[in-house]
């Protein structure tokens, strides 16, 4: 089986590094997702959605444990918490879309660091 993950863009914000307990502070900030030019046509109609799911790569995360202590002090399996130290190193965050300009998406609610690779963007579609 071949697994292909394409980097479609990068996160831009003021957070060069952070500790796990700062995730909520990062989410409060405004970030810009700059989509690569070759994927800019994929943004057609995205302004019609208030929320987006952003999948990104934890490029600065090192290693993982199958069980870990969460920020709240609970002990859980890695699939039952939001730690960046994961087997796949893939992050997922739902953001609020504030503005679309060309190939740039201005969002709030993203807990990714400056320069983080974005691997996919999906609209949040409400169920009937």
CATH assignment at residue 73: 2.40.30.70
pLDDT, tens only, 12-35: 999 887 666 677 778 889 999 999
Report angle CA 62, 3, 113 to the nearest 5 degrees. 35
- Number of folded domains that form the chain: 1
Contact yes or no for 13/110 (Cβ under 8 A): yes
How far apart are the C-alpha atoms of 104 and 93, rounded to whole Å?
A: 17
In a domain, 8, yes or no: no
What is the reported pTM? 0.87
Q: Under 8 Å CB-to-CB from 12, ≥6 apart: which residues? A: 31, 32, 33, 34, 114, 115
Contact yes or no for 89/61 (Cβ under 8 A): yes
pLDDT, tens only, 100-123: 999 999 999 999 999 999 999 999
In a domain, 32, yes or no: yes
């Amino acid at each position: 089986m071949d697994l292909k993950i394409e980097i479609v863009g990068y996160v831009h914000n003021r957070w060069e590094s952070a500790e796990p307990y700062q995730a909520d502070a990062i989410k409060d900030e405004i970030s810009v997702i700059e989509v690569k030019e070759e994927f800019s046509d994929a943004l057609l109609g995205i302004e019609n959605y208030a929320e987006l799911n952003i999948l990104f790569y934890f490029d600065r995360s090192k290693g993982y444990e199958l069980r870990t202590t969460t920020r709240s002090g609970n002990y859980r399996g890695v699939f039952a918490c939001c730690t960046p130290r994961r087997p796949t190193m893939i992050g997922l965050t739902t953001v609020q879309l504030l503005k679309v300009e060309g190939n740039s998406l201005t969002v709030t609610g993203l807990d990714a660091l400056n320069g983080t690779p974005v691997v996919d963007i999906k609209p949040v579609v409400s169920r009937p």
